[in-house]
Structure 1
Amino acid sequence: MNNNSFINELRAAGLPEHLIDTVIGVGQLKSVKSQTTLIEAGKDCRTIYFILKGAFVCRHLNQETGDKRTISFHMVDFQPFITCIDSYFTNLPTACDLLAISEAEVLAFRKNDLEELAGAHQILSAFYNAHIINALVSEHGFKTKLIQYSSESLYRYIICNYPQIIQKIPSKYIAEFMGISPEWLSKLKHKT
């Protein structure tokens, strides 16, 4: 099991070794095959995952049309904590899928386990809250640019600020996220 990146995150936050061992102990290692749905729309999501290997997209299900659209990307080096935010915080079924787009490994943590540990250890609570806030701020930033930027400006922004998305996420999902066709994305690639 290669959880060094997660352990490094915990160490960087100042967690003592005994608490790191406790946190790792409540996590469950899961291997996820490419094109496998980790969480499906309509299900409850009471788990948060840390990506050790691979990449995922979060896709929102349009209840009226049945279409799915990518709303976020997650990789070891970009937003490695993933969950279905709508379900995780409201305790209602999610409207999203978490889809592995490559072979992946994650550490899975049940919400109750994390909250119990965070309640007992202020330093873990601060780590947990900081990562949730960071994810929400990042997602808000992306959504703002999605609304404000032209397709060309948004693509240029992703290339300049998050090249790992371009390198690791298939164009189909990037186009879906941007709300454009794969053909239009191909034209943008040739322009930039």
Structure 2
Amino acid sequence: MGYIREYYERMVPLQESEWAIIAAHFRRKRFKKHQIITRQGEVEQYLTFIEKGIVRFYIPDDENELTFNFCFEKEFACAYDSFLTRTPSEYAMQALTETLAWQISYSDLQKIYVQTRVGNCLGRLAAEKLLLVKSKRELSLLKLSGKERYMQLLNEQPEILQSVPLKYVASYIGITPQGLSRIRRQIY
């Protein structure tokens, strides 16, 4: 659980008593490679901190799944809109690799917000971070070409290119696998 504390303390210092309350509400969970963590149509019950592994966010479809996000080690993963609104998720989350995670339920997170001074601050800062990432991604999809999005990914998130199958990378940057192959041939 030390990674969770590190993550939080990058935002705000924690007192031991607050950390004890927070840590008591997380549960360790293992997910097998390709295991679904959250299904489309289910209400997200957990905020998940990835200790080890990779999680993919996607919209399931029989013909073309649409991958739109990845989370890696030492990051939180969640169908956050479903988690907050308590409504069914429009997408699914899947472990791309064997994944070791720590989870906290919605109700336990609400308890932390009430029981600790720092809880609401951490929640707000995490939500702000998610909003900024989402806004940057939306703008890149609207303003940049497929090649520019690939180059941005190469420069800013090379871990995606190193550890995620290219068919998911292509979907993530909004192009076909064939388009990604053409871009990669031009660059390398």
Q: TM-score, normalised by structure 2?
A: 0.91
Quote the offset at 1:66 in angstroms.
Answer: 7.0
Would you say how many aligned residue pairs link Structure 1 and Structure 2? 186
Write the distance in 1 (CA, Å) between the matches of 2:16 and 2:124.
Answer: 20
> What is the CA RMSD across the aligned residues, in angstroms?
1.7
Write the distance in 1 (CA, Å) between the matches of 2:164 and 2:127.
Answer: 23
Q: TM-score, normalised by structure 1?
A: 0.89
Write the distance in 2 (CA, Å) between the matches of 1:45 and 1:183.
Answer: 34
- Structure 1 runs not aligned, ≥5 long: none
The aligned residue for residue 182 of structure 2 is 187
Q: Is the 8 A contact 1:72 1:139 kept in 2?
A: no
Instruction: Give the counterpart letter for 1:34 in structure 2.
Output: K
Write the distance in 2 (CA, Å) between the matches of 1:159 and 1:141.
Answer: 15
| CA distances 1:13-54 after superposition (whole Å, capped 9, x unpaired) | 211122222212111100011111001001111211111000
- Structure 2 runs not aligned, ≥5 long: none
1:53-72 equivalences in 2 (<5 Å): 53-61=52-60, 67-72=64-69
Describe the shift of the 1:104–1:112 C-alpha distance in structure 2 as closer, same or farther (beyond 3 A).
same
Q: Is the 8 A contact 2:18 2:118 kept in 1?
A: no
Q: Name segments (4+ residues, structure 1) moved above 3 Å.
A: none
- Once the two structures are overlaid, the 10-residue window that deviates more, 150-159 or 172-181, is 172-181
Match of 2:6 among 8, 13, 34: 8
Quote the offset at 1:191 in angstroms.
Answer: 1.9
The aligned residue for residue 113 of structure 1 is 108
| CA distances 1:91-140 after superposition (whole Å, capped 9, x unpaired) | 11111110111111111111111122112223121112101210121012
The sequence identity of aligned pairs, in percent, is 19
- Once the two structures are overlaid, the 10-residue window that deviates more, 163-172 or 102-111, is 163-172
Describe the shift of the 1:108–1:66 C-alpha distance in structure 2 as closer, same or farther (beyond 3 A).
farther
